[in-house]
Amino acid sequence: MPMFAVTSQLGIDLLNVAYLIAAVLFILGLKGLGKVKTARRGNALSALGMLVAAVATFFHLTGGTAISLLWVIPALLLGAAIGTVMAVKVKMTGMPQMVGLLNGFGGLASLLVATGDYANSWRKIWLIEESHLLVAHAIDHLFSWDGQAAVGLATLIGGVTFTGSIMAFGKLQGTRWAPDHAVQFPGQKAVIAALLALSLLLTLVLMVWPGAGWALLLIALLALVLGVLLVVGIGGGDMPVVIALLNAYSGLAASMAGFALGNFALIITGALVGASGLILTSIMCKAMNRSLANVLFGGVGAAPSGGGHTSGTAGSGGTHRAFSAEDAALVMEASQSIIIVPGYGMAVAQAQHAVKELADELHKRGKVVQYAIHPVAGRMPGHMNVLLAEAGVAYDTLLDLEHANPQLAMADVALVIGANDVTNPAARYDTGSPIYGMPILDVDKARQVFVIKRSMSPGFAGIQNQLYFTPNCGMIFGDAKKIVTELMNELEQI
């Protein structure tokens, strides 16, 4: 029985019906999230499903006297308060970091639930005041190999997810203890493989010998170390894939915790999150033309120790051309079709609202304005879409990679705002480049290209963008929000 609560069969049946309703809402929510126009409804349906599952579990537990309201109510209020503050205070530019943290908290919760369930089962066996029925359930649970396998895997995956997500948060936040470049050392892959193999071996020990609590403790410690090693060796350029993968891990950990508890809601929810996260990870890897193993262990995204090339000619085979906002405004005024290509630089400068105002001004002048969105632009999947949606950009003006490239080839102007590696033509022809073969936005095929960037420093892949040295490209140096505002002001004066 779920949670070993002493309830009637009718109560258990009602609980399972509630879980089934929640599962249906989760599936409908995921379906809605697959399209921009139905994303809000999908999010609402998913939230409703979670509410149904949480309320049903709450009344099931308290009705069976399995847990005291003295602990539940304060925890609910504290969690709700923290979630509300995060939702209100965290800016859209901080969404990747917040997603990373939430993935980590999910992993930690699964780890604590699994280890707590293991300890609670032994408590029921050793405390003589417990009823014989509860003791019998605890013995059956502890001495089933599948139950111990679930406990061990939930602890392993949850621990990896927690520390891995904390490292991802640090890299995205730009902290000193988690640099955004890949940190690797000789034998790192062998150490990771050894830790993983040892953790799985200890899980097997726990399955054969349920009383080996020390094995569960070691699994937790090894998992925490493994999470750090898996993410610290990955560069900032691969963070979108890492975020998607950690999201999948958090779902798998929750599903394993559900098996440990016998809770159908956790099993279903975790499986849905894990499967959707793995699918998204696969899509992101395809967008970067790399295997998942290459992302995890390849070290792509490490910037050179010297900070990369900063001059106009270093490593480029040419020189860049600097333009002013006035120059760009004159060209845009004489153009008909303009495609804006946003990147992480737009997010850092919080320039999305200024970009929307510039697009509105161009639209008033009869220009056709669209946005080209690369799947891995920014620091998490859909990062640019979220920022532009916040600024009120119409959904039908957002073009994905497949639809954007044909339009770029016919565009009069491509305005690149803080995007780097995803516009680098070297991905097409330079076999020695770390981004070789990665599908890119073909901005270099536009009649005229303007790139708004703070400097000539390379992106997360640590290489110079060959786009900047093509004859049809002009560089406008400065803060993205400031430059876009200047562009709009110059247009108004023409």
d(CA 47, CA 131): 37
Cβ–Cβ < 8 Å for 56, 3 = no
Query: In this structure, what token pair is assigned to residue 400?
Result: 């994905």
* Active-site choice (421, 430, 442, 479): 421
Type of residue found at 414: A
Task: Tell me whether residue 412 is one of the annotated catalytic residues.
Answer: no
309-331: string of b/e by CB count within 10 Å (b at 16+)? beebeeebeeebeebbbeebbeb
Report the catalytic residues: 421
